[in-house]
Amino acid sequence: MKKLTMIYWREGDFWLGRILEFPEIMTQGETAEELEENLKDAYRLIVLDEVPENYQIKEIVA
C-alpha cells in the first residue's frame, strides 16, 4: 500500500479533491468518504493500470 495525500474541499453539493502527489488525478463525491474512495479508484486506474509495451503517444487539444 502507498500513502498518498488527499486535498479536498466542498463546492456546492459535492466534495472535490485531488491527490497531491498526482495533481492530474481529480474527482468528486457526494460525501468526503465517497470522494476518498473515488480518488483511490482513480489512482488505481491511472497509475497502477499496466500499459502495454506497444503504446502510442499523441498530443491532443481540448
The answer for 12, left when phi > 0, alpha when psi is -120 to 50, beta otherwise, is left
Residue type at 46?
A: I
Q: What is the CATH number of domain 1-62?
A: 3.30.160.250
Question: pLDDT (tens digit, 9 = 90+) per residue, 10-62?
Answer: 999 999 999 999 999 999 999 999 999 999 999 988 876 676 778 788 888 87
In this prediction, residue 34 carries a pLDDT of 98
For 16, 29, 32, 38, 62, the CA distances from 19, given in Å and listed in that order, are: 11, 14, 14, 11, 22
In this prediction, residue 48 carries a pLDDT of 65
Query: Would the pLDDT of 6 be above 90?
Result: yes
> Would you list the domain boundaries of the chain?
1-62
In this prediction, residue 56 carries a pLDDT of 80
